[in-house]
A and B are shown apart, each in its own frame.
Chain A
Amino acid sequence: MNKIFLIIQREYLTRVKKKSFLIMSILGPLLFAAFLVVPTWLASMEDTEHKTIAVIDQSHLTYGVLEESEYLSFVYLEDVPIDSVKKDFKSSDYQGVLFVPTNILISNSPILYSDKQLSLSTRMQISNSIKDEIERQKLKAENIENLDEILKSVETKINLRNITWNDAGEERENSTEFAMGIGYIGGLLIYFFIFLFGAMVMRGVIEEKTNRIVEVIISSVKPFQLMMGKIIGIGLVGLTQFVIWVAFTLIISTVVQKTIMDDKTSTLMENMQSRDILADTPSIDENTDSGDNLQFVEEIFSSLHTLNFPLIIGMFIFYFLGGYLLYASFFAIIGSAVDNETDTQQFMLPVTIPLIIGIFVMINTIQNPEGPIAFWFSIIPLTSPIVMMVRIPFNPPVWEILLSVVILVLTFIGSVWMAGKIYRTGILMYGKKVGYKELWKWFRLKN
């Protein structure tokens, strides 16, 4: 038993000490942090440049209604043909020309000319202003008294809170978008980890075979010990990588957000800490772009509290290990059956296909986490690590989780046992092109 620890130790240490592990450990979180931070950063960076838009309004509808802001202003041009403005555009100070035709009330299509694509928020701001004005004009035509007051009083903003309860009757507030995001990241990570570390097992087995050290080793330990030592050692490398990534991602994203989002962030952080108050009294000005942005980020952070993180992380580790053990045993079989990496192709397909199906089902599952497809593929052990992981943030029934867990455990015990039988024959076979029939024969050999 002592010997298997020696093998685990070697497999673990040689990989953790490698430069590539260090690079992956740093690069991974940087990428994740970029995914988290860059969108908010881009949103906050947007439109800090001042823009002036020339307006040629033949309908005179927009006079005084186009809403100006810190970064956006309008200049109304009278009796100027659009063609001459277009011609002189290069030499002018305008960033764009807005053309509103006479029949705007019927056609509903103003045109914005510019030499560069204008940002979405600028376009939204302009089209919203015009839309509101056209709607107002149309309502006005209905001759309703006190229209403005009526409109103001009917204006409503909906804040849909989704509260679910479990069998014990406990209530829990959910954010669907966030659950989707977490499920998606979890499923993808598992897919990625299984591939990355499963293939590492396969390469390790091939390495021992081509280096011809395998016979030396199995004169000291049982082939099964060597295989399990390798699988467990590499699994621990995967876990270590995961823990480093989580820690680094948290550190980097916190640091970056703190520095980039300056004072606004501090309000945000305070708000995060008092989420309950926030729900009732939105404290940030909703009219500005950055305000909306911040509120969005805020919602994400506040949703963090609504998810059952111990369960999600616990299940992630379980499904990572379970899925990894299942697939690593397949990869170990492949490694033992071939003489070099180029021969692995023919066996890779049947291992890759269930994983890719898992990814496809995952996309479906995100939209419908309780549907029959989601259910069945989260029970089938070949796809359950990916698909069930996506469902976990949506709090699926406990019995479904348990069923999936039990089936996965039984399957990986079976697959490891099967791999052990094939492996011990395969590692001593050289110079033989092996097919599935041969593998089956090895599996049925007594010893």
Chain B
Amino acid sequence: MDFLSTHNIVKQYSNHLALNKVSINIQENSIFGLLGPNGAGKTTLIRIINQITAYDEGEVLIKGRKLKPEDVNFIGYLPEERGLYKKMKVGEQALYLAQLKGLSRSDAMRKIKYWFEKFEITGWWDKKVEDLSKGMQQKVQFVTTVIHEPKLLIFDEPFSGFDPINSNLLKREILELKEKGATIIFSTHNMESVEELCDHISLIHNAEVILEGQIEEIKQKYKTNICEVKYNGDPESLKAALTKDFELVEEKINHHSHIAQIKLNGNTNNSLLKTILPKVEVESFSELIPSMNDVFIRVVEETNKNKTDK
């Protein structure tokens, strides 16, 4: 069953349509990637789920029932525009934010201790936030987001401001939270981390969902049927062997071996191999699978083109 789903959400601002019948479905205990170019409507959708913004039409369901105001207590939200009270001490601040999420003071204390020890930041308790570096502030911010053990976590560009080491720490934490049962919405422009973390994505562009599905399915769907062959031998004999079913897209030399990219027009990988094996010595053979980055760019550009064509 879906943990969270939206059905035909419409949000109209005075001068533009922010969301046009957006439906997403997020399975329980999965990581859901919410993708899209700037201004697509991702933040609006996230704010609607957080009940910060109201919507005009449609509905938001959580485990099949309508979202209620009290539900904010089991949502953890790390907004893109985030920050902390600069003049407040780290410990007090974490305590305050945890209590705002409905934790009792003693529960909050206990959990803060656990997380501060885990992140090795116990010594910062009495430090003012303004005295911490940006990366340190981000760590504190992350702790305050997950402190109340939310069932639903929403991360909007979580890696901005983190160095590679802390980014990895964060990724590990996110995966661990998933293991513990949390459902995670993950919005980012960093497609590498999407491939690494997400099970399922929706791509929003111009207020509409233009692509959705599991990462592997999407990649398969958008693959270009191009194989890359690394070989030793005469490129001319390879070319001669290729029938009209195979199209040589690119040919280059890398050190002592040749690399050819060959497009299969309706044929299988095996038939290509059969065709070229007698002619050249194959060093490696692989099918080119598009990265999410390629998919993203391709889908968005296609949509833009269709729009201008119309």
Contacts and interface: CB of A to CB of B under 8 A. Distances in A.
Interface of A: 3, 6-7, 10, 14, 207-208, 211-213, 215-222, 428, 430, 441, 445-447
B227 to A, nearest CB: 47
B100 interface: yes
Interface string B66-110: 000100110101110111111110000000110111100000000
Contact of B96 (A10, A208, A441, A447): A10
Contact of A218 (B52, B73, B88): B52
Contacts of B72: 219-221
Contact of B100 (A3, A208, A212): A3
B101 A216 contact: no
B265 interface: no
A219 B86 contact: no
Q: List the 4 closest A-B pairs by CB distance, nearest first.
A: A212-B83, A447-B54, A220-B100, A219-B77
A204 to B, nearest CB: 10
A211 B73 CA distance: 23
B306 interface: no
Which of A7, A213, A219 has the most B CB atoms < 10 Å from its CB? A219
B38 to A, nearest CB: 14
Given A10-B96, A14-B87, A215 B54 contact: no
A7 B50 CA distance: 19
Contacts of A216: 77-79, 82-84, 97, 141, 144-145
B96 A215 contact: no
Given A3-B100, A6-B96, A215 B82 contact: yes
B144 A219 contact: no
Nearest to B141: A216
A441 B14 contact: yes
Contacts of B99: 6
A62 B141 CA distance: 88
Given A220-B72, A441-B14, A215 B100 contact: no
Contacts of A211: 83-86
A430 B72 CA distance: 24
A352 B215 CA distance: 58
A441 B79 CA distance: 25
B224 interface: no
A428 B145 CA distance: 19
Given A3-B100, A220-B100, A215 B81 contact: yes
Given A6-B96, A215-B82, A219-B72, A14 B101 contact: no
B77 A446 contact: no
A221 B100 contact: yes
Q: What range describes how many residues of B lie at the interface? A: 20 to 34
B75 A430 contact: no
Contacts of A441: 14
A216 B97 CA distance: 9
B85 A215 contact: no
Contacts of A221: 72, 100
Nearest to A2: B102
B94 to A, nearest CB: 12
Contacts of A219: 50, 52, 72, 75, 77, 79
A355 B47 CA distance: 39
Nearest to A221: B100
Interface in B33-77: 47, 50, 52-54, 69, 72-73, 75, 77
Contacts of A218: 52
B101 A213 contact: no
Which of B47, B81, B97 has the most A CB atoms < 10 Å from its CB? B81
Given A216-B84, A220-B101, A221-B72, 20 more contacts: A3-B102, A6-B96, A207-B85, A211-B85, A211-B86, A212-B81, A213-B84, A213-B85, A216-B77, A216-B78, A216-B83, A216-B141, A217-B97, A220-B72, A220-B97, A221-B100, A222-B69, A441-B14, A445-B14, A447-B54
Contacts of A445: 14
Contacts of B78: 216
A212 B299 CA distance: 33
B52 A428 contact: yes
Nearest to B79: A215
A332 B229 CA distance: 66
A7 B79 CA distance: 20
A447 B82 contact: no
Contacts of B79: 212, 215-216, 219
Nearest to B72: A220
A212 B80 CA distance: 9
A428 B84 CA distance: 15
Nearest to A13: B92
A56 B153 CA distance: 98
Nearest to A226: B100
A215 B97 CA distance: 12
A207 B54 CA distance: 25
Contacts of B88: 14
Contacts of B101: 220
Nearest to A223: B52
A218 B79 CA distance: 11
A299 to B, nearest CB: 49
Nearest to A14: B88
13 contacts: A208-B85, A212-B81, A215-B52, A216-B78, A216-B79, A216-B84, A219-B72, A219-B75, A219-B79, A220-B72, A220-B97, A220-B101, A222-B69
A3 B96 CA distance: 10
